Structure 1
């Protein structure tokens, strides 16, 4: 499989990101606005996140000490 055919599956919607984090879509946007989470990028009027960026952010969040 080449990189072009793999690319679409590597992009996540806000709903998919929220599901991975077990939070609401609104919380995803709040976390992105505060810098706690990657802000993703726009594809026309739609916000998308790279799966790799989300996985790295989750790993980083998991390694932080609890408050």
Structure 2
């Protein structure tokens, strides 16, 4: 199961990297740059707000309210 998930992820990475290299925003850059971006593409989906402060519970709540408003 683990090998299947890793193999599927790498296959998706390969396909996405080709599309990013040919048609993407950074198509003028090298293929190695685009495959690097394709490997970490889930990170771009789950970006967090830089304004949220997680140092303490009170700071987190107040900064979350500011972002939400």
State the TM-score, normalizing by the size of structure 1.
Answer: 0.34
Q: Of Structure 1 and Structure 2, which has the larger fraction of its residues in strand? A: 1
State the TM-score, normalizing by the size of structure 2.
Answer: 0.34
Q: Of Structure 1 and Structure 2, which has the larger fraction of its residues in helix? A: 2
